[in-house]
Amino acid sequence: MRPTDAVAWSQPSAIEDYKSLASRGFLASRWLLLNLAVTAAVLVLSVVHLGLLNANVPDSEAILASNDVIAAVSIAEIVIYVIGLVIFLVWFWRAYANGPALGLRDPRFGKGWAIGAWFVPILNLFRPKQIANDAWRAGDPHRPLDSPFWRDDPVSPLLNWWWGVWLLSGFVGNISRRLPYETVEEDKAFTTVAIFSSALWLVAAVLAIAVVRRTTSRRRPARNSCTKVRAGTRRRRRKPRRQPFLTRRVRNTGESRPGFASFSGWSPPARGAPRPGPPTPSPRDVRAR
């Protein structure tokens, strides 16, 4: 992100720069629900698999078949997760990019960080949460327009719970992916940690759906309030003044004839004005007759 981008973005922008979050929020929440359903299926299959491992006499064929089913569903889960991540980031970027149009003066980060912050190591542990906080503050309908103290506005505890569970689920998931599962005992430990990770991810997904819906629903009253304030302070354009009716004098005569105004079309003479008579003949014309 170039410094000039952040400076240019910090300039006051009009309400026309606002783009609705309704369709993006609807798609993001629905895709999170789909991902949640697939993860719940993996969780159930993992619990069944752990039961097979804890049997008095483990059935090796049943365990191998269970592993194959879990692997197939996990592949579908990864594909849905990647697609859902793209949809969520599109919503997340637009939620933050609408901030200046809703009255956030001098945003802390450029718009590109709404996507890039998720992929930078160490920075992805706190920067996306800061951006989510600013996106939440932008949707406050009671905040004064263009207030310089918007960074001091509180955020909902929902965002804190969502981010904390999200980080914990990712940490546990990284541990589970590094565990071996060659033997039965190793498979038990791996499956136990995987169940715990899936459960945490389910909670994080439910909280993420709540964050998407509440952040999106807050934007409508905030945008309406900004529209009313800016409409009241907008300067009205002055209409061009209509020039008065013009007259001109005909050469060699003393009469007055209606001329043409500066606008298109002919203007009739004022009511009650004397009509111009025929021109007075000159002496030369009289002698010619």
Q: pLDDT digit string (tens) for 211-251?
A: 999 999 886 654 554 544 444 444 445 555 554 444 444 44
pLDDT at 140: 73
268 is a domain residue:
no
229 is a domain residue:
yes
pLDDT at 17: 66
275 is a domain residue:
no
Which of 133, 145, 195 is CA-nearest to residue 169? 195
pLDDT-derived band at 254 (thresholds 50, 70, 90) equals: very low
pLDDT at 252 over 60: no
Q: What is the DSSP letter of 139?
A: T
287 is a domain residue:
no
pLDDT at 145: 63
Range of the domain at 77: 3-233
Q: What are phi and psi of 208, to 5 degrees?
A: -65, -40
128 is a domain residue:
yes
Q: What is the DSSP letter of 238?
A: P
SS3 114: helix
56 is a domain residue:
yes
Higher pLDDT, 268 or 66: 66
Give the count of domains, the chain.
Answer: 1
Q: What are phi and psi of 262, to 5 degrees?
A: -70, -20
258 is a domain residue:
no
Q: What is the DSSP letter of 249?
A: E
Q: Is the dihedral of CA 43, 48, 52, 55 positive or negative?
A: positive
**Separation CA 176–CA 282 (nearest Å):** 115
SS3 256: strand
171 is a domain residue:
yes
Higher pLDDT, 101 or 243: 101
Contact 87, 27 (CB under 8 A): yes
Higher pLDDT, 2 or 52: 52
pLDDT at 277: 59
**Separation CA 253–CA 279 (nearest Å):** 7
Residues pairing with 248 in the sheet:
257
Least confident piece of the model among 70-79, 156-165, 177-186, 265-274: 265-274
pLDDT at 180 over 80: yes
For the residues 82-92, what does the mean pLDDT come to?
95
Contact 218, 194 (CB under 8 A): no
Residue holding tokens 């719970």?
161
pLDDT at 27: 94
The pTM of this model reads: 0.69
**Separation CA 73–CA 37 (nearest Å):** 11
pLDDT at 1 over 50: no
Percent of the chain with pLDDT over 70: 66
Least confident piece of the model among 46-55, 182-191, 227-236, 262-271: 227-236
